[in-house]
A and B are shown apart, each in its own frame.
Chain A
């Protein structure tokens, strides 16, 4: 049977301009633009963000600190195609067990392995537990102009507010009265 599932994209959200992008979710989509919209609709209708990035999961080169402890990690890694010129790679790292992959910076490299080697040299402070690197060209991003239509409308939706759900309040009230009636018997 052929797999009809769309490719998986990893989703990164930036909750405010002074915070880095963080990996929050993953989503299936046929392409980057649809992935960005699907992620917006599924994940940030209620929680707010100011910027969103998506990248195909299979473009992410990933290594844990344990894997990197092997001195031969680079030669043992599956050989990626090496391009003749360098290109920018995004570097993400996970610093705490309960944390998520968080954007730390950009490096120029000819391959994911080289990108990670550069990242290790520059961004190792805090002893990250795991690393993600991927070429910037595979990332689909929301633009600053998109904030108004993609993210702002969620801010004044009353369905964000639990007090809008009258049925829940009503059920509490009914249960409370039932208990009081029982107690007085």
Chain B
């Protein structure tokens, strides 16, 4: 593989892994606090799944750059500063209320579903295989968050209002979902990843029809958040402070 293609692939894997990790960690904050016991268990499962997906992508990255796939993920997760993370801003926002969490997770699940549906045909074989595995779980995540979206969107005045507010807050951040990385064109050309513009169109089609069925509407007159993945809100720093606290106490400790 040519050096610049390899580098672009490393960037992409890191971006995908960081998105999964950060939202997985955010979701784990609901453990013990979700609205009902059953959902507490379900949402903790989803959080675990996302962190598991992050691990898969970090390990692919380790293989690609010649690092140890057993130790490299921990190093990336626990020993990078906020500025070195490459996740989109949507995933680092605080969990907010239940409506906010559900809408965010729904928007991410649909994006994952659309992306993985294409990535299973990636010309980079390890990526195609990992995508097939991850996609199974994302199909279920989508079913779960879509069910909540409908029930809260069509539920009471209050649940509808909360969902619409959440959507209004989150929608500007969706611009980043399919914003290509600076060198992503190389990957598209090599058939490693699908064209992000096409993905965005397919995603919008799915989301807009789901939202309509749930009596929710995308906000008008919003300012899209167009920033690169090295730009973060202050929320990421506080998330990392908590997540990395124990590992950084003794970086040589073995578990």
State yes or no: do A and B come from one complex. Answer: yes
* Bound Cα distance from A42 to B147, whole angstroms: 17
* Bound Cα distance from A149 to B134, whole angstroms: 10
Would A33 and B136 count as touching, CB distance under 8 A?
A: no
Would B38 and A153 count as touching, CB distance under 8 A?
A: no
Q: Which A residue's beta carbon lies closest to that of B135? A: A149
Listed residue (A27, A28, A41) with the most chain B CB atoms within 10 angstroms of its CB:
A41
Return the CB mask of A129-160 against B: 1 if under 8 Å, else 0: 00000000000000000001110110000010
For the residues of B in contact with A, the DSSP-based class is helix
Would B38 and A149 count as touching, CB distance under 8 A?
A: no
Would B38 and A150 count as touching, CB distance under 8 A?
A: no
Q: Which B residue's beta carbon lies closest to that of A158? A: B52
For the residues of A in contact with B, the DSSP-based class is helix
State the Cβ distance, A125 to closest chain B Cβ, in Å. 37
* Bound Cα distance from A6 to B38, whole angstroms: 11
A-binding segment of B63-71, B77-85, B138-146:
B138-146
Would B151 and A42 count as touching, CB distance under 8 A?
A: no
Return the CB mask of B132-164 against A: 1 if under 8 Å, else 0: 000011011001100100010000000000000
Tell whether A33 pairs with B147 under 8 Å between CB atoms, given A41-B45, A148-B136, A153-B140: yes
Would A42 and B136 count as touching, CB distance under 8 A?
A: no
* Bound Cα distance from A77 to B139, whole angstroms: 45
- Which one of B48, B49, B136, B143 contacts A37 once the chains associate, using CB atoms below 8 Å? B143
Would B136 and A41 count as touching, CB distance under 8 A?
A: no
Q: Does A38 contact B (CB under 8 A)?
A: yes
Return the CB mask of A1-30 against B: 1 if under 8 Å, else 0: 000001000000000000000000001111
Q: Does A45 contact B (CB under 8 A)?
A: yes
Return the CB mask of A146-176 against B: 1 if under 8 Å, else 0: 0011101100000100000010000000000
Would A153 and B42 count as touching, CB distance under 8 A?
A: no
Listed residue (B38, B49, B144) with the most chain A CB atoms within 10 angstroms of its CB:
B38
Which residues of B226-240 are within 8 A (CB) of A? none
Would A41 and B42 count as touching, CB distance under 8 A?
A: yes
* Bound Cα distance from A152 to B49, whole angstroms: 13
* Bound Cα distance from A37 to B255, whole angstroms: 34
Tell whether A28 pairs with B255 under 8 Å between CB atoms, given A34-B147, A37-B147: no
Would B137 and A37 count as touching, CB distance under 8 A?
A: no
Would B136 and A27 count as touching, CB distance under 8 A?
A: no
CB neighbours of B42 from chain A (8 A):
37-38, 41-42
- Which one of B38, B48, B137, B144 contacts A42 once the chains associate, using CB atoms below 8 Å? B38
CB neighbours of B136 from chain A (8 A):
148-149, 152-153
CB neighbours of B38 from chain A (8 A):
27-29, 38, 41-42
Q: Which A residue's beta carbon lies closest to that of B140? A: A149
Which residues of A31-76 are within 8 A (CB) of B? 33-34, 37-38, 41-42, 45
State the Cβ distance, B107 to closest chain A Cβ, in Å. 19
State the Cβ distance, A29 to closest chain B Cβ, in Å. 7
Instruction: Name B residues whose Cβ lies closer than 8 Å to a Cβ of A.
Output: 36, 38-39, 41-42, 45, 48-49, 136-137, 139-140, 143-144, 147, 151, 255
What 12 additional pairs, Cβ within 8 angstroms, besides A30-B151, A33-B147, A41-B38? A34-B147, A37-B147, A38-B38, A38-B39, A38-B42, A41-B42, A41-B45, A45-B45, A148-B139, A149-B137, A149-B143, A153-B49
